[in-house]
């Protein structure tokens, strides 16, 4: 498996605006997302990102999580937080592709309050395309590559 460096530290700390993202997935916070401090716990955001990325793949007919011979596995994630959220906030996860490699895709992801222009969190999410049984990387299919292409963002927007 190839490892690619995450976004530069400066980019991870930059609070992005909505215009940098190509696709949005709504997320309703849940009562149990809140922690003892009264805000959505940091680990819950990873579930939001995983849900948004996989919903995009499923809804676009790119994978069937039960039967596809090839699937995406998470190789790396990271998040920077700018503001807190809490139940009952409605959120939107913005997706952009910052790198589309031979067997991997790196998403630039950001979480926004519904309709807000500034992100409350920003991160990266690296998926590696693998053969389900062997779990060995394979080349991303042309069908998937074509579906991801509209998400590819301009470098200056990703860098903040």
Q: What is the pLDDT of residues 68-91, one digit of tens each?
A: 999 999 999 999 999 999 999 999
Instruction: Give this prediction's pTM.
Output: 0.87
Q: What pLDDT shows up at residue 156?
A: 41
Phi/psi of residue 127, nearest 5 degrees: -110, 135
Instruction: Name the more confident of 4 and 66.
Output: 66
pLDDT band of residue 7 (cuts 50, 70, 90) is low
pLDDT band of residue 126 (cuts 50, 70, 90) is very high
Judged against a pLDDT cut of 80, whether residue 18 lies above it is answered with yes
d(Cα 138, Cα 100) in Å, to the nearest integer? 13
Mean pLDDT of 113-142: 97
Instruction: Name the more confident of 35 and 7.
Output: 35
Task: Work out the end-to-end distance of the chain between its first and last CA atoms, rounded to an integer number of angstroms.
Answer: 28
Judged against a pLDDT cut of 90, whether residue 14 lies above it is answered with no
Judged against a pLDDT cut of 50, whether residue 148 lies above it is answered with yes
Q: What pLDDT shows up at residue 67?
A: 96
In sequence order, the 6+-apart residues with CB closer than 8 A to the CB of 134 are none
Q: What share of the chain is helix, strand, coil (3-state, %, to 5)?
A: 30, 35, 40
Token digits of residue 37: 């401090």
Judged against a pLDDT cut of 70, whether residue 3 lies above it is answered with no
């Amino acid at each position: 498996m190839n490892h690619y460096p995450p976004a530069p530290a400066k980019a991870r700390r930059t609070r992005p605006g909505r215009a940098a993202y190509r696709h949005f997935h709504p997320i309703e916070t849940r009562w149990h997302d809140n922690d003892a401090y009264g805000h959505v716990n940091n680990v819950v955001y990873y579930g939001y990102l995983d849900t948004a990325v996989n919903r995009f793949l499923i809804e676009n007919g790119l994978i069937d999580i039960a039967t596809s011979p090839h699937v995406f596995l998470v190789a790396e994630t990271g998040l920077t937080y700018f503001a807190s959220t809490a139940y009952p906030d409605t959120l939107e996860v913005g997706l952009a592709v910052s790198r589309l490699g031979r067997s991997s895709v790196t998403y630039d992801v950001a979480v926004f309050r519904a309709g807000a222009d500034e992100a409350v969190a920003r991160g990266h999410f690296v998926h590696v395309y693998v053969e389900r049984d062997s779990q060995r990387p394979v080349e991303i299919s042309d069908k998937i590559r074509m579906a991801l292409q509209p998400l590819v963002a301009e470098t200056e927007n990703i860098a903040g």
